[in-house]
Amino acid sequence: MAGASSSGNLNSVSIVLTQDPERKSRLYELHMEQEMVLEAPLVVTFCADWFRTREWLRLRQARDNFNNLVGYLVASFDAMILAQNVCLGFESEGLGICYMGTTLYSMLDIAEFLELPDTCLPVTAIVVGYPDEDPTKRDRLPMEALVHHETYHRPSVAEIEETYRQREVKGWERYMAIPELKRMSEERGITSLAQFYTSEIKYDPESFREFSLRIEDALVTKHFLER
């Protein structure tokens, strides 16, 4: 984990561990009430963090930098690379993890709750614990659809059909096996996996517009972006 690749080896990341049940219950709210935040004994939040580096630069009378969009992206990439290394480490020890994509949506509130300083923002979080189930890994799209040789191969309609053929059956069955999701889908006239994905139930475009504004606001507040 400590050896994760790092841009310029500047290690522009911080990790905040949350184990205290009361503090976890606030994180549960900020992660849109995903049950695993309460169930798992540990939440690890990975932050893009230039605060420490910039303090060091200031102490050495060096020029300031990284309080910009490039800085945010560079530190975010470092944080994600580190997060995945940590996940592999936990999994190799028999622990289970789940990423919390909701970190992005509540970025600024989580930053406030964890008392993150200027130019420091959460990028992702994982919950960690010993799993009490062993679900089969879900299929990924076929590798041929993802890999391009030399230049991008624009998929034809027939290739798109083929790429999503299996997922449209299995994915749909998986969601429709959950009575609540089945009921909500029927109420909204949703008849396919594609429609489900961008419905209000899953990745609602309206919510995404709202989350995008929140992220922009967080970047401005923490001085990664100027308005």
Ligand X SMILES: Cc1cc2nc3c(=O)[nH]c(=O)nc-3n(C[C@H](O)[C@H](O)[C@H](O)COP(=O)(O)O)c2cc1C
- Contact residues for ligand X (CB under 6 A)? 34, 98-102, 124, 137-138
Question: Which CB atom, from 133 or from 206, has the smaller least distance to ligand X?
Answer: 133
Cα(78)–Cα(5) distance, integer angstroms? 7
CB of 99 to ligand X, least distance (A): 4
Q: Where are the alpha helices (DSSP H) in 12-101?
A: 21-30, 36-39, 51-59, 69-92
Tokens of 127: 């919950």
Of the two residues 45 and 124, which places its CB atom closer to ligand X in the complex?
124
User: Least Å distance between CB 77 and ligand X?
Assistant: 13
Whichever of 202 and 223 has its CB closer to ligand X, that residue is: 202
Q: How far apart are CA 35 and CA 16, in angstroms?
A: 20
Which helix (H) or strand (E) is 113 found in, with range?
helix 107-113
Q: Which is nearer to ligand X, 100 or 128 (CB)?
A: 100
Phi, psi of 138 (to 5 degrees): -75, 145
Nearest distance from C-beta of residue 119 to ligand X, angstroms: 22
Instruction: Please answer whether residues 153 and 134 qualify as being in contact, where contact means their C-beta atoms are separated by less than 8 angstroms.
Output: no
Is 15 or 98 the residue whose CB approaches ligand X more closely?
A: 98
154 φ, ψ (degrees, to nearest 5): -70, 115
CB of 147 to ligand X, least distance (A): 19
- The nearest distance, CB 56 to ligand X, in angstroms, is 30
Task: Report which residue's Cβ sits closest to ligand X.
Answer: 101
